C-alpha cells in the first residue's frame, strides 16, 4: 500500500511538472501589426530601421530581442553584409522609459533593447522601436543573402524576428516581419547646349540709356539708317540684342565696325568717337567732332550699351543713364555679357553720329558685325 502511494505521488509530481511547462508555452503569444520601415532601402547602405508591433498580452517587459535573418523561421542565418555592431537606439514609443541597446550579440545577428526596470506594458499596445547606425545587407541568391525577387536582383527580402521578454527571462510575445531592399535606379539625361541670339530693330522715339532714336532713323535687324544728315546735328539709332542660352558660364557679345563708314570717294571716312580719349572701358559724354582736317575727327560715330553693368566697363548702364559713349571701330568690344545662362535679357546698343562742316559731303557705308560666344 505504501509503495502504491509512493508511485502515485511520483506520477502526480511528474504530471504537474508537465502541466507547468505546457502553460508556459501557451503564454507565448503572437505580436500583431508588425512592420519594418527603412530610412534607406538600398542594399549595402547605412539605414535606420523603424520597427512597429502591437503587443498581445499585458506584461512587465525588460527585454526585446531582434534577430536579423534571411528567413522568418527555422535556423537563423544572419544576412551577408548586415552590419549591426554600430547600432544605436534612436527612440522608443509606448514602451515606457529607460531602454538601452545591447549589441553584445551583434555578430550573431541579434540586437536587444534592455531595461533595468521592468516596464508595465498593456495588451494591444502599439509600440515603436527605432534603431540607427545599421548597414543594410546585400541582395542575392545565396543562403546568407536577402532572397532576390527576380534574376536581376531588383529587390530582396530579409526578416527580423521579435521576442518580448519579462524577467527570468520569460518569453511574452513573439513575431516576425519582413523588410525589402530595393536596388537603386540610375536616372541619366544629357541636356544639349543651346544658344540663339536675336537682333531686332528699334523704332524712332524710343529712349535707351537716355539716348533717343532720331526721327526717321528707325533701324532693322541688319540696318542702321542714319539717313540724310545736316552738319553739326546729332543722329541716333539703335538695335536690340537678346541672347538665349543654357551655357553654364554665360556668354559675351562683341561688336566691331569691320568695315569703317567710307564714302564713294575712298578717302572720305567717318572716324570713331575719341573725344577726351574715350574708350569702352572709360566712356565719356558726347561732344561734337573737333577736327579741322577733312576725314580726321571731323565726323564721329560712337556707341553705348544698356548692359554696361554686366559688361563691367562702365559703358552706358553703369554710368546711370548719362549718355556716355565709346568709339565704334574695328576693335571688337563687349556690348553684352553674362556669367550665367540667360533667357533673353534685352540689351540695347545705341549708335550716335555727328559731322562738322569740315567733313566732305558724301554717302557713307560701313559694315558692323556682332559676335556671340557662349561658355559652357
Q: How confident is the model at residue 323 (pLDDT cuts 50, 70, 90)?
A: confident
The three-state secondary structure class of 268 is coil
**Residue 14 pLDDT:** 29
pLDDT of residue 200: 98
Q: What are the tens digits of pLDDT across the range 284-303?
A: 999 999 999 999 999 999 99
The answer to whether 332 touches 305, Cβ cutoff 8 Å, is no
Region of 162 on the Ramachandran plot (φ > 0 left; ψ -120 to 50 alpha; else beta): beta
The DSSP code sequence of 142-157 is: STTSEEESSTT-SEEE
Q: What's the grid cell of residue 313?
A: 566697363
pLDDT tens-digit series, residues 331-366: 999 999 999 999 999 999 999 999 999 999 999 999
Confidence grade of residue 27 (pLDDT, cut at 50, 70, 90)? low
The architecture that CATH gives domain 195-374 is: Sandwich (2.60)
How far CA 176 is from CA of 68, 74, 159, 182, in Å, comes to 10, 12, 7, 20
Q: What is the mean pLDDT of residues 296-317?
A: 78
CA pair distance 363, 302, nearest whole angstrom: 18
Residue 312 confidence (pLDDT): 61
Is the preceding peptide bond at 169 cis, omega within 30 degrees of 0?
A: yes
Q: How far is the C-alpha of 133 from the C-alpha of 245, rounded, in Å?
A: 46
Question: Which neighbouring-strand residues pair with 333?
Answer: 255
Beta-ladder partners of 196: 244
Domain segments of the chain as ranges: 28-182, 195-374
Checking DSSP bridges between strand 146-148 and strand 235-245, what pairing results, if any? unpaired
- Positive or negative, the CA dihedral 71, 73, 74, 77 is positive
Name which of 1-15, 223-237, 324-338 the model is least confident about. Answer: 1-15
Please state the pTM of the whole predicted model.
0.70
Q: How many CB atoms lie within 10 A of CB 145?
A: 22
153, three cell numbers: 536582383
The more confident residue out of 10 and 214 is: 214
In angstroms, how far is the first alpha carbon of the chain from the final one?
108
pLDDT tier at 139 (50, 70, 90 boundaries)?
A: very high
Q: How confident is the model at residue 280 (pLDDT cuts 50, 70, 90)?
A: confident
What is the pLDDT confidence band of residue 281, given thresholds at 50, 70 and 90? Answer: confident
Other residues' Cβ atoms within 10 Å of the Cβ of residue 183: 16
DSSP 213-266: PPTT---BTTB----S--TT--EEEEEEEEEEE--TT-EEEEEEEEEEEE-SST
In the numeric block, which cell numbers belong to residue 198? 536675336
Give the residue-averaged pLDDT of 145-161.
Answer: 94
CA distance 358 to 175: 105
At the fourth CATH level, the homologous superfamily of domain 28-182 is Uncharacterised protein YcnI-like PF07987, DUF1775 (2.60.40.2230)
Cα angle, residue 232 at apex, residues 227 and 237 outer, rounded to 5°: 35
| pLDDT (0 to 100) of residue 131 | 98
Summarised one tens digit per residue, pLDDT across range 177-208 is 999 999 999 999 999 999 999 999 999 999 99
Residue 147 has pLDDT above 70, yes or no: yes
Q: Cell numbers for 23, please give them.
A: 502553460
- pLDDT reported for residue 3: 40
Max Cα–Cα distance, the chain, nearest Å:
155
Kindly state the average pLDDT of the residues 67-95: 96
User: Does residue 236 surpass a pLDDT of 70?
Assistant: yes
Q: Give residue 57's pLDDT band: very low, low, confident or very high (50, 70, 90).
A: confident
Give yes or no for residue 116 having a pLDDT over 80: yes
**21 phi and psi angles, rounded to 5 deg:** -65, -35
Cross-strand bridge partners of residue 53:
127
Please, which pLDDT band fits residue 20 given cuts at 50, 70 and 90?
very low
Amino acid at each position: 500500500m505504501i509503495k502504491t502511494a509512493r508511485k502515485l505521488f511520483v506520477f502526480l509530481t511528474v504530471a504537474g511538472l508537465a502541466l507547468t511547462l505546457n502553460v508556459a508555452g501557451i503564454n507565448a503569444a503572437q505580436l500583431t501589426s508588425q512592420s519594418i520601415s527603412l530610412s534607406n532601402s538600398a542594399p549595402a547602405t547605412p539605414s535606420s530601421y523603424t520597427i512597429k508591433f502591437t503587443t498581445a498580452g499585458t506584461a512587465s517587459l525588460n527585454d526585446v530581442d531582434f534577430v536579423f535573418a534571411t528567413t522568418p523561421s527555422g535556423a537563423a542565418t544572419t544576412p551577408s553584409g548586415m552590419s549591426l555592431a554600430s547600432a544605436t537606439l534612436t527612440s522608443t514609443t509606448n514602451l515606457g522609459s529607460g531602454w538601452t541597446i545591447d549589441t553584445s550579440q551583434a555578430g550573431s545577428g541579434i540586437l536587444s533593447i534592455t531595461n533595468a526596470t521592468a516596464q508595465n506594458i498593456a495588451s494591444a499596445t502599439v509600440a515603436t522601436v527605432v534603431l540607427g547606425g545599421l548597414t543594410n545587407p546585400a541582395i542575392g541568391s545565396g543562403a546568407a543573402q536577402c532572397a532576390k525577387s527576380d534574376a536581376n536582383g531588383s529587390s530582396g527580402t530579409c526578416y527580423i524576428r521579435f521576442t518580448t521578454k519579462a524577467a527570468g527571462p520569460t518569453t511574452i510575445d513573439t513575431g516576425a516581419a519582413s523588410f525589402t531592399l530595393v536596388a537603386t535606379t540610375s536616372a541619366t539625361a544629357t541636356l544639349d547646349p543651346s544658344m540663339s541670339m536675336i537682333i531686332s530693330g528699334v523704332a524712332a522715339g524710343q529712349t535707351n540709356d537716355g539716348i533717343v532714336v532720331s526721327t526717321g532713323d528707325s533701324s532693322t535687324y541688319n540696318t542702321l539708317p542714319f539717313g540724310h544728315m545736316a552738319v553739326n546735328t546729332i543722329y541716333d539709332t539703335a538695335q536690340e540684342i537678346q541672347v538665349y542660352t543654357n551655357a553654364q558660364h554665360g556668354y559675351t557679345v562683341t561688336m566691331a565696325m569691320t568695315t569703317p563708314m567710307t564714302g564713294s570717294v575712298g578717302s572720305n571716312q567717318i572716324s570713331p568717337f575719341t573725344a577726351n580719349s574715350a574708350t569702352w572701358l572709360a566712356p565719356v559724354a558726347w561732344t561734337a567732332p573737333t577736327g579741322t582736317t577733312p576725314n580726321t575727327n571731323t565726323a564721329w560715330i560712337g556707341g553705348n550699351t544698356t548692359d554696361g553693368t554686366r559688361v563691367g566697363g562702365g559703358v552706358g548702364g553703369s554710368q546711370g543713364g548719362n549718355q556716355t559713349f565709346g568709339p565704334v571701330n574695328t576693335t571688337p568690344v563687349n556690348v553684352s555679357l553674362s556669367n550665367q545662362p540667360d533667357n533673353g535679357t534685352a540689351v540695347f546698343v545705341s549708335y550716335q553720329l555727328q559731322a562738322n562742316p569740315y567733313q566732305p559731303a558724301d554717302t557713307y557705308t560701313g559694315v558692323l558685325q556682332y559676335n556671340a560666344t557662349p561658355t559652357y
